Amino acid sequence: MTAPTPAGTPAPGTAPGTRDRRSRPRRSCLAVPGSNPRFLEKAQGLPADQVFLDLEDACAPLAKEGARHSIVDALNKGDWTGKIRVVRVNDWTTHWTYRDVITVVEGAGQNLDCVMLPKVQDAQQIVALDLLLTQIEKTMGFEVGRIGIEAQIENARGLVNVDAIAAASPRLETIVFGPADFMASINMKSLVVGEQPPGYGADAYHYILMRILMAARTHDLQAIDGPYLQIRNVDGYREVARRAAALGYDGKWVLHPGQIEASNEIFSPSQEDYDHAELILDAYEYHTSEAGGAKGSAMLGDEMIDEASRKMALVVSGKGRAAGMRRTTSFDRPEA
Ligand code: GLV
Ligand code: MG
């Protein structure tokens, strides 16, 4: 039996393998400027679940052409074992996008897991990227459909269209919140990315985060929170990351090695929650079996568990298993 996945039931018609791709851990997603060879080298040794090599905002316009080739080289020659390898291209309103995709995917498509598309505004932009990827895969003799897409939501138009965006391609693996561009796009009165704007008194991001999360979950995609720019303030990072994790987000960007450990910890279940989830699954399986009396609900200590408890436990156990956690308790069958 395959391990349960955190992201719920696959969408109808999902191709085999897609579900596994979408459930790969992405607790920490490390941004690496594609124009900086030192960072491209260093990133390989860091314990992030995902790296994304950036051709967009971390790359100056004059450096983009050279960065495409540095990224191809780093993907083909580097050791990225254990990491999801992503390249962020420029958005479709620029003139760089098609050449970013063609250079990187023709040059290193077999060593690349996903292309991240920033500032997505509607479903057609995802469809266009999907078609371009398919043509490159066919031309190069790569497996068609293997390379996934990550869609960044970074403005009001993207958020309003997020349901259609999330449904636009079977290649989609994640929907990513881009707080910096988003704050600018809606004129939010704060310059500290990820922090609350002064004078509001409530969580100014709640609606945006939930809106993205609902679209992602409807289509069995992962939901990822974007960057926190005060890179020396790890406590501030933790607080913002906890907010996203509490809602159900799968991971968050990291801009600095100092944020990786915090992200990996916050987006993994605690050992206690993981053990508890595994116990619920064992107890539920036993009590619903013939040997356990084929019951619809049962007691685990002082707690009543039923099918809904099983589903909640599946989420936590799926995340724990994906993160390589080991349980420290076992289920004892009640005496007959
Ligand atoms: C990320 O791209 C952001 O704009 O926050
Ligand atoms: Mg952005």
Residue ranges per structural domain of the chain: 18-266, 271-322
pLDDT of residue 112: 98
Task: Give the Cβ contact number of residue 139 at 10 Å.
Answer: 12
pLDDT at 7: 38
Probe residue for ligand 1, chosen from 159, 181, 191, 212 as the CB with the greatest number of ligand atoms within 8 Å: 181
Which DSSP symbol is given to 199?
Answer: T
Please determine, looking at this structure, whether the domain spanning 18-266 carries the CATH number 3.90.1170.50: no
Q: Which residues line ligand 1 (CB under 6 A)?
A: 118, 152, 154, 178-181, 226-227
Separation CA 300–CA 316 (nearest Å): 17
Position of tokens 């897991």?
113
CA distances from 132 to 77, 102, 124, 145 (A): 25, 8, 12, 11
Q: Whose CA is nearest to atom 3 of ligand 1?
A: 178
pTM: 0.89
CA atoms in the 13 A half-sphere facing the CB of 82: 12
Nearest listed ligand to the Cα of residue 177: 1
C-alpha distances in Å from residue 167, one per residue of 14, 101, 151, 162, 283: 11, 21, 11, 9, 36
Nearest residue (CA) to ligand 1, atom 2: 178
The CA 229 to ligand 2 mean position distance, Å, reads: 12
pLDDT means per 10 residues, the chain with 336 residues, are: 34 48 88 97 97 97 97 98 97 98 98 98 98 98 97 98 98 97 91 85 94 97 96 95 96 97 95 92 91 86 90 90 90 78
How many CB atoms lie under 10 A from the CB of residue 273?
16
- The CA–CA distances, whole Å, from 304 to 41, 229, 284, 308 equal 51, 44, 10, 11
What is the Å distance from ligand 2's center to 303 Cα?
45
* Ligand nearest to C-alpha 176: 1
pLDDT at 336: 61
